[in-house]
């Protein structure tokens, strides 16, 4: 129910303002959903997500027009062109574009858990170049000045991947950040800790 979704968003944001203060919450970036282009996170279509996004974004802006809202936080830069164009055409609020990225490719063999084995992309700047390409697509869109936030990124998305604990990962991270340069407005390393509750 989009009505119940709107009510949940409204109640949550009002609670945040009550608890942390309007000045603090205006510094936040509200990202709607997580990787809706992957069916195990969101079972609907892109049009379904657009409605979900629009409902949340309008509810947030109704509380305070200065609150920042964006998306779609897709897994691999999907929907850049179509999401921005739809927001522009429909008049849906969009203060920033968010996406995720990882420098791995699935192998043709299975790991010890029966899942696809992951390998680092052999191109050294595949991840940073991907971020730069998303920036270029935003510049070519009807909203060319949107900030770009990479709200998940790392060498691998698997919390069990030993590459996270390898000494070379630190150099990899710094190299990607330097190469991406000013193409992105922020990069949120996934994740601060490999320990999940």
- Check residue 116 and report its DSSP letter: E
Joined together, the tokens standing for residue 83 give 């999401």
Percent of the chain with pLDDT over 90: 71
Average pLDDT over residues 28-36: 96
**Residue 197 confidence (pLDDT):** 47
Alpha helical stretches, state H, 64-105: 80-90
Q: Mind telling me the catalytic residues? A: 35, 152
Residues in CB range of 175: below 8 A, 6 or more apart? 124, 125, 128
Which of 124, 141, 136, 134 is closest to 175 using CA atoms?
124
Joined together, the tokens standing for residue 2 give 């989009």
Q: In Å, how far from its chain's centre is CA 106?
A: 21
Q: In Å, how far from its chain's centre is CA 192?
A: 16
**Residue 58 confidence (pLDDT):** 98
133, pLDDT greater than 50: yes
**Residue 164 confidence (pLDDT):** 78
Average pLDDT over residues 12-33: 98
What are the two backbone dihedrals, phi and then psi, of residue 105, each rounded to the nearest 5 degrees? -125, 145
- The model's pLDDT over 49-89, given as tens digits with 9 standing for 90+, comes to 999 999 999 999 999 999 999 999 999 888 999 999 999 99
pLDDT band at residue 117 using 50, 70 and 90 as cut-offs = low
**Residue 82 confidence (pLDDT):** 96
Average pLDDT over residues 109-131: 79
**Residue 107 confidence (pLDDT):** 64
Record the pTM. 0.90
CB 121 within 8 A of CB 97: no
The CA dihedral of 75, 77, 79, 84, to the nearest 10 degrees, is 120
């Amino acid at each position: 129910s989009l009505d119940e979704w709107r009510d949940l968003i409204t109640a949550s944001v009002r609670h945040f303002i009550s608890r942390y203060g309007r000045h603090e919450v205006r510094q936040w970036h509200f990202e709607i959903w997580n990787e809706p282009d992957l069916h195990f996170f969101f079972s609907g279509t892109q049009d379904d997500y657009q409605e979900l996004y629009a409902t949340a974004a309008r509810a947030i802006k109704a509380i305070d027009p200065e609150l920042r809202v964006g998306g779609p936080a897709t897994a691999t830069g999907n929907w850049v062109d179509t999401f921005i164009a739809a927001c522009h055409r429909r008049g849906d609020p969009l203060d920033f574009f968010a996406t995720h990225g990882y420098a791995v490719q699935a192998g043709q063999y299975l790991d010890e858990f029966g899942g696809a084995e992951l390998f680092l992309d052999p191109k050294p700047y595949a991840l940073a170049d991907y971020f730069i390409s998303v920036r270029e697509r935003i510049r070519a869109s009807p909203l060319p000045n949107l900030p770009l936030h990479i709200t998940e990124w790392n060498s691998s998305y698997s919390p069990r991947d030993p590459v996270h604990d390898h000494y070379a990962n630190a150099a990899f991270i710094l190299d990607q950040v330097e190469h991406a340069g000013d193409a992105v407005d922020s990069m949120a390393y996934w994740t601060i800790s490999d320990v999940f509750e």
